[in-house]
Structure 1
Amino acid sequence: MKFFVALLSFIFSVVIADGVDHAEHSGYVVKTNVDLLRYREECVSQLNIPLDLVMQYQEWKYPNDEKTHCYLKCILEKFELYDAEKGFDVYRVHHQLEGDKADHTNAMHVAIDKCAKEAAVASDDACVRAYRGFTCFLMDYPHLIPAGNGSK
């Protein structure tokens, strides 16, 4: 569940260029499992997500459909990791995943940046870009997906 919070804090359109001043990211507050549960409820309600999809999301299954795309966009926006116009905030995503120990020169940061850039050109639709970035990261880091009983 902790990783899910971190990952959903992660993902997805136009990436902030490497030369940008990242001081604004230093004030980012890492979200908790409590935040995730609240955001889930809000997004499910707001988007009228059917129970069968909610159950799939709890098992880390994200079908390639419009409801799922927009659900992930909603969650990522609430985590302040994604903006429909600006795309993924790579530094915030990395900070959410690794906290204060995030080394923005390591392989995870590079992978997050790669997925964010790929998502940025995936579609004109912000929901699709959010989905693409999120699923890209899951493919790069499948070992981070918690095993278990739907408690994600």
Structure 2
Amino acid sequence: MQSQSLLLIVAAVATFLVAQTTAKFLLKDHADAEKAFEECREDYYVPDDIYEKYLNYEFPAHRRTSCFVKCFLEKLELFSEKKGFDERAMIAQFTSKSSKDLSTVQHGLEKCIDHNEAESDVCTWANRVFSCWLPINRHVVRKVFA
């Protein structure tokens, strides 16, 4: 009984967060992700073999990867140079298909988000955080953008 109540509370909180965020942030779908991939590929001249991995949400070490990831996240409005990662948008985007994903999305954010205290260049910063968060949530990203 308690676990059902807890699930209802978690679902209500997730719904509230999505509602709060979606006032400013519009959820993205497969077509949006595909468009962002294509535009960033053009911007950064990503080789075919590397790009194929990106399409599977695998971002190997490559001289183009960090800025590609930054570009991709910016186009999806999940990251900006000035503000960094938009945690509310990340939660809204990646719990939109299922509130069951809230705990892994939040766990990844808590573990990985930083405010660039290392003063890295913006591409390195975006990629560092996303590369930490993605292995925990790759299944969620694939589900949301499938």
- When normalised by structure 1's length, the TM-score is 0.68
Alignment of 1:39-54 (within 5 A): 39-54=36-51
1:70 matched to 2:67: yes
Is residue 31 of structure 1 aligned with residue 28 of structure 2?
yes
Q: SS state of the match for residue 32, structure 2?
A: helix
Q: What is residue 13 of structure 2 aligned with on the other side?
A: none
Deviation at 1:49, TM superposition (A): 1.1
- What are structure 1's unaligned runs of at least 5 residues? 1-22
The one-letter code of the counterpart of 1:55 is: E
Aligned residues: 126
CA distance in 1, matches of 2:72, 2:137: 19
For normalisation by structure 2, the TM-score amounts to: 0.70
Change (3 A) 1:89 1:62: same
Residue 128 (structure 2) pairs with residue 132 (structure 1) = yes
Contact 1:90 1:113 in 2 (8 A): no
Query: How far off is 1:99 after superposition?
Result: 2.3
For structure 2, list consecutive stretches of 5 or more residues without a partner in the other structure: 1-19
Letter in 1 for 2:32: D
1:61 aligns with 2:58: yes
How far apart are the structure 2 equivalents of 1:100 and 1:145?
Answer: 10
Q: Is the 8 A contact 1:62 1:68 kept in 2?
A: yes
Deviation at 1:143, TM superposition (A): 4.8
- Tell me, what secondary structure is at the counterpart of 2:52? helix
Report the RMSD for the aligned CA atoms in angstroms. 3.1
Deviates more, 1:28-37 or 1:137-146: 137-146
- 1:79-116, CA deviations, whole angstroms, 9 ceiling, x for partnerless residues? 1110112110101011110129769x956324314312
User: 1:1-59, CA deviations, whole angstroms, 9 ceiling, x for partnerless residues?
Assistant: xxxxxxxxxxxxxxxxxxxxxx6663211001011111111100011111121012123
Partner of 2:106: 109
Whether the 8 Å contact between 1:73 and 1:82 is mirrored in structure 2 is: yes
Partner of 1:87: 84
Q: Does 1:121 align with 2:113?
A: no
